[in-house]
Amino acid sequence: MKAKELFPDAQELRKGRVRIELDKEQITDALKKLKENGYTHFVMLSCVDWIKEGKFELVYHMWSYEYKEHVMLSVKINRDGEDVVSNRELFPQIETYEREIHEMFGVNFVGNPRLGEFILEGWPHMPPMRKDFDTEKFVKDLYYKIPEVNEE
């Protein structure tokens, strides 16, 4: 069955591209439902920081080889440390995306045992992909202030 039939409130952005907005409790069921109905390819999990609304938007991208259709499941959670359930049992590759989002945005995925240091080594500051992390100020305060080697 197509995503439009599975989820009546899905909006079709254009041909072959469907967007579904869900609550965070529904996400595991929705992924399972799509997986059983031909959407077998989990493409990726991405995260958007909506700083004015105070929300993180997690987007689960799915693809069906049968219908040639790209489904985006969007979940909004609060920015201030709301937990999300990990879906690594359904698609094992989600684990890596969850680790990355945990490192870059600080979202906590309950049930993922490998959340920890991933790409950054020994990063002591705020997760760097958050909008309230001022990259330019950080760079000017750190790298440009490291002193030249004094040859006296």
Partner 1 sequence: MKHEEWKKISRIMSKRSLWMVHFCTGCGAMEMPPVMTSRYDMERFGIFAMATPRQADVFLVTGYLAVKTLKRVVQVYEQMRDPKYVIGFGSCTINGGMYWDSYNTIKDLSKYIPVDVYIAGCMPRPEAIIDSFLKLMDMIDKGEAIGWQKYRKYYDQYKRNQKMAFEYRLDEVKPIKEDDKNES
Pick the piece of the chain touching partner 1 (CB under 8 A) from 1-9, 41-49, 70-78, 135-143.
135-143
For the bound state, the minimum distance from the C-beta of residue 55 to partner 1, rounded and expressed in Å, comes to: 23
CA distance 78 to 55: 5
Selected binder of partner 1 within 121, 130, 131, 132 (CB under 8 A)? 121
How many residues can be counted in the chain? 152
Closest CA to 128 of 61, 136, 76: 136
For the bound state, the minimum distance from the C-beta of residue 126 to partner 1, rounded and expressed in Å, comes to: 10
Selected binder of partner 1 within 8, 113, 116, 124 (CB under 8 A)? 124
Contact partners, residue 78, CB within 8 Å, separation at least 6 = 54, 55, 56
Q: Which is nearer to partner 1, 90 or 139 (CB)?
A: 139
Pick the piece of the chain touching partner 1 (CB under 8 A) from 4-12, 14-22, 108-116, 129-137.
129-137
> What are the residue ranges of helices labelled H in the chain?
3-6, 27-36, 94-105, 135-142
User: Is 131 near partner 1 (CB under 8 A)?
Assistant: no
Q: 3-class DSSP state for residue 150?
A: coil
The contact set with partner 1 (CB under 8 A) reads 119-125, 128, 133, 135-136, 138-139, 141-151
